[in-house]
Amino acid sequence: MKQLARSIRQHMTDAERVLWQHLRAHRMGGHKFKRQLVIEPYIVDFICIEAKLIIEADGGQHGLRVEEDQERTACLEAMGYRVLRFWNHEILTETQTVLERIHQELNLSPLPTPSP
């Protein structure tokens, strides 16, 4: 799975590249983000571990996988993460709005870790 994550990091979409430029190097209010991180059984696009925030950049194929994405989000939320999803075209055409939404979410307290 780590090998796949590494490969995905090397072949980011245009939307992922744009978003990464704003998230990397503590550029989002000092928060540290990682990209294409394995959280079994998934690989998440971007994550701020300290804020327990996952950001997913969804392309057109996700329109056909609505149920799978809902299950994925529910599973990640059950692990204590908050998940924000943005369409690639949103990231590319409404970048500032997307960044403001992420910033708002980062200012919220992280959800408590669920009990086992």
**Distance from C-alpha of 49 to C-alpha of 111, rounded to nearest angstrom:** 12
Parallel, antiparallel or unpaired: strands 53-58 and 42-48: antiparallel
pLDDT in tens, 25-62: 999 989 999 999 999 999 999 999 999 999 999 986 64
**pLDDT reported for residue 39:** 95
Judged by DSSP in three states, 64 sits in helix
Q: Please state the pTM of the whole predicted model.
A: 0.84
**Distance from C-alpha of 25 to C-alpha of 3, rounded to nearest angstrom:** 23
**Distance from C-alpha of 6 to C-alpha of 27, rounded to nearest angstrom:** 22
Using CB atoms within 10 Å of the CB of residue 95, give its burial: 0 to 12 exposed, 13 to 18 middle, 19+ buried.
middle
pLDDT in tens, 66-94: 889 899 999 999 999 999 999 999 999 99
DSSP-derived letter for residue 90 is H
Q: Which fold has domain 2-106?
A: Endonuclease; Chain A (3.40.960)
Domain map (residue ranges) of the chain: 2-106
Q: Give the residue-averaged pLDDT of 20-24.
A: 96
**By 3-state DSSP, what share of the chain in percent is helix, strand and coil, each rounded to 5?**
45, 25, 30
Amino acid of residue 85: R
**pLDDT reported for residue 11:** 77
